[in-house]
Chains A and B, each alone.
Chain A
Amino acid sequence: MFELFTYDFMINALVASLLASIAFGVVGSFIVVKRISFISGGISHTAYGGIGLGYLLGFNPIYGAIGFSVLAASIIAYLRKEKNQFEDTLIGIMWSLGMALGVLFVNLAPGYAPSLMSYLFGNILIIPTNEIYLMALLDFVIVALIATFFNQFQAITFDEEFARAIGLKVDLFFYLLFIIIALTTVILIKLVGIILVIALLTIPGAISLHYVKSLKGMMILSTIIGLFFNISGLIISYYLNLSSGATIIIIAVISYLISLGIVKIKNYNSKAVLNN
């Protein structure tokens, strides 16, 4: 098996897995505890518009994805700040609009777009080295921001109202959090694709929540779990010639169900002890 990792593309895939695991372990923990996976889905799917635009205008689609997802994050932050009653609906509309624009931009572009499937469903085996550097940079920015403002992020995600009452700039920090989610999404797109990003942002967090006693612990455990999904998915998809993104997600979902089962059995047993 180890001869697998002598190929350059495999080394890149491994490094990408590690970088992505850190980003979604850290950011995904906030998404799970604050229950904002719909918002995160809106941000990540809107990114497809930017990918189409990049393809149409001939620049690297990943920069288009950054632009569109950051724009989506800004719009959502604004809707939240203004307490828009239809925030939910509007995010849904933006989500579809982003995807539709992406498809249209690709239609308008001359020729055939063979690589776009990899943005939708990911392909960890074709990540070029320059994008590894971009991922590393985004990773650094994300982790540095969250480490710097950890207390503030914890305060606004735990109890928004109280954070406001003690004078924290809650709207500003939510905006920053949404931008961070946008950047994380971009890191993940190449790995599992836009369609599957949301699973990797939520499943490691959802599993680790059963076993941890602190947010920091949750971030670390989520990162380890995510890395396990990525690497096992990578190896299985390589040998069985399957789509890497889909394989990673299937492993994640199966792991989640197993973990849920273990927790249910544990709870059942502890209740049985109490009753006897």
Chain B
Amino acid sequence: MINAISIKELNVVLGDFLVLQDINLQIEEKEFLGIIGPNGGGKTTLLKALLGLIRPIKGEIKIFDEPLQVNRKFIGYVPQFSNFEKDYPISVYDVVKLGTIGNKENRESIDINSVLAKVEMLEFKDRLIGQLSGGQKQRVLIARALASNPKILLLDEPTASVDTKSGKTFYELLRVLNDEITIVLVSHDMGVLSQYVKKIACLNKTLAYHDSKEITHEMLESTYHCPVDLIAHGVPHRVLGEYKLH
């Protein structure tokens, strides 16, 4: 079986700091991997390396068995929604359309309306992006990523808390997308995450990953460098409790 993402011995330095050290990770096709870790632990850096925005000092990344440069087009990216200009006069439809401009084929073949329907945002297509709620913005950013017709979706700290409308919840939506697309999601919010993802890795400079959804005491403690309460109340794979850093 071909791995969607294959990372070997990845080391990334930012400024004077070694941010990622000897990262090894194989992600199968149609996997749904959650990566948790403290702020500053290298989660966003790992995503940026996967997008080719940061050049590692060592190691290699392969996408569907080809070098990153060749197959980067298969990766869709959903950044934190706090990164774009809030008052920008642009409609939901046009935001999603921006997702197609990296690739000429997509520009002609992708139907923006059907992409919007997939994330249940079609009725808002003429709204200004700034007039949406946080959860709605998140869906639009997912639609924008889908407009590049990706096989892999990378999500940076999605906030699902504000989304309470009827219809599918944010994570249910991701689950549906996961039928066709490999998803990698990073977050410091492990509580919500652990209910939906298929597998979990812990990242804080190094990566702790056992190809499963179990989080062990050792994984958490080595990631957060402090004791963490881990209570499984008989609910499968449910992780509860405080995990504050300080």
* Interface set of A (CB-CB < 8 Å, partner B): 33-35, 151-152, 154-155, 157-162, 164-168, 209, 212-215, 217-218
How far is A218 from B53 in the complex, measured between Cα atoms in Å?
32
How far is A229 from B89 in the complex, measured between Cα atoms in Å?
23
Nearest CB on A from B189, distance (A):
21
Closest 7 CB pairs of A and B: A166-B102, A159-B84, A165-B77, A165-B51, A167-B102, A151-B101, A212-B89
Q: Are the C-beta atoms of A33 and B84 separated by less than 8 Å?
A: no
Chain B at the A interface: mostly helix, strand, loop or mixed?
A: loop
Q: Are the C-beta atoms of B101 and A33 separated by less than 8 Å?
A: no
How far is A159 from B77 in the complex, measured between Cα atoms in Å?
12
Task: Chain B residues near A164: list those with CB within 8 A.
Answer: 51, 53
How far is A217 from B87 in the complex, measured between Cα atoms in Å?
14
- Given that A154-B98, A158-B85, A168-B101 are contacting pairs, would A213 and B79 also be in contact in the complex, using a CB cutoff of 8 Å? no
Task: Chain B residues near A215: list those with CB within 8 A.
Answer: 88-90
Chain A at the B interface: mostly helix, strand, loop or mixed?
A: helix
- Some 19 contacts from A to B, beta carbons below 8 A apart, are A33-B85, A33-B87, A33-B88, A33-B89, A35-B85, A151-B98, A151-B101, A154-B90, A154-B94, A158-B85, A158-B90, A158-B95, A158-B98, A159-B84, A159-B85, A165-B51, A165-B53, A165-B77, A212-B89
How far is A34 from B83 in the complex, measured between Cα atoms in Å?
12
Residue from A33, A159, A209, A214 in contact with B79 in the complex, judged by beta carbons closer than 8 Å = A159
Interface residues of B in 31-62 (CB under 8 A from A): 51-53
Task: Chain A residues near B136: list those with CB within 8 A.
Answer: none
Q: Are the C-beta atoms of A209 and B53 separated by less than 8 Å?
A: no
Nearest CB on B from A233, distance (A):
26
B91 at interface, CB cutoff 8 A = yes
B128 at interface, CB cutoff 8 A = yes
B148 at interface, CB cutoff 8 A = yes
Task: Chain B residues near A159: list those with CB within 8 A.
Answer: 79, 83-85, 98
B72 at interface, CB cutoff 8 A = yes
Q: Are the C-beta atoms of B91 and A168 separated by less than 8 Å?
A: no
How far is A250 from B135 in the complex, measured between Cα atoms in Å?
42
Nearest CB on B from A264, distance (A):
15
How far is A112 from B24 in the complex, measured between Cα atoms in Å?
72
Task: Chain B residues near A157: list those with CB within 8 A.
Answer: 85, 88
Nearest CB on B from A149, distance (A):
10
Nearest CB on A from B165, distance (A):
19
Nearest CB on A from B76, distance (A):
9
Q: Are the C-beta atoms of B101 and A158 separated by less than 8 Å?
A: no
Query: Which residue on chain B has the smallest CB distance to residue A164?
Result: B53
Nearest CB on B from A144, distance (A):
19
How far is A142 from B222 in the complex, measured between Cα atoms in Å?
56
Q: Are the C-beta atoms of B101 and A165 separated by less than 8 Å?
A: no
How far is A157 from B95 in the complex, measured between Cα atoms in Å?
12
Q: Which of A33, A159, A165 has the most CB of B within 10 A?
A: A165
Q: Are the C-beta atoms of A214 and B148 separated by less than 8 Å?
A: no
Query: Which residue on chain A has the smallest CB distance to residue B69?
Result: A167
Q: B141-153 CB contact bits vs A (8 Å, 1 = yes)? A: 0001000100000
Task: Chain A residues near B101: list those with CB within 8 A.
Answer: 151-152, 155, 166, 168
Q: Are the C-beta atoms of A214 and B91 separated by less than 8 Å?
A: yes
How far is A203 from B111 in the complex, measured between Cα atoms in Å?
37
Nearest CB on B from A33, distance (A):
5
Nearest CB on B from A239, distance (A):
36
16 further A-B contacts with Cβ under 8 Å, apart from A166-B101, A168-B101, are A33-B87, A154-B90, A154-B94, A158-B84, A158-B88, A158-B95, A159-B85, A160-B83, A162-B79, A162-B98, A165-B77, A166-B102, A209-B87, A213-B89, A214-B90, A218-B89
B99 at interface, CB cutoff 8 A = yes
Nearest CB on B from A29, distance (A):
8
Nearest CB on A from B130, distance (A):
10
Task: Chain B residues near A165: list those with CB within 8 A.
Answer: 51, 53, 77, 79
Q: Are the C-beta atoms of B98 and A161 separated by less than 8 Å?
A: no
Q: Which of B72, B89, B98 has the most CB of A within 10 A?
A: B89
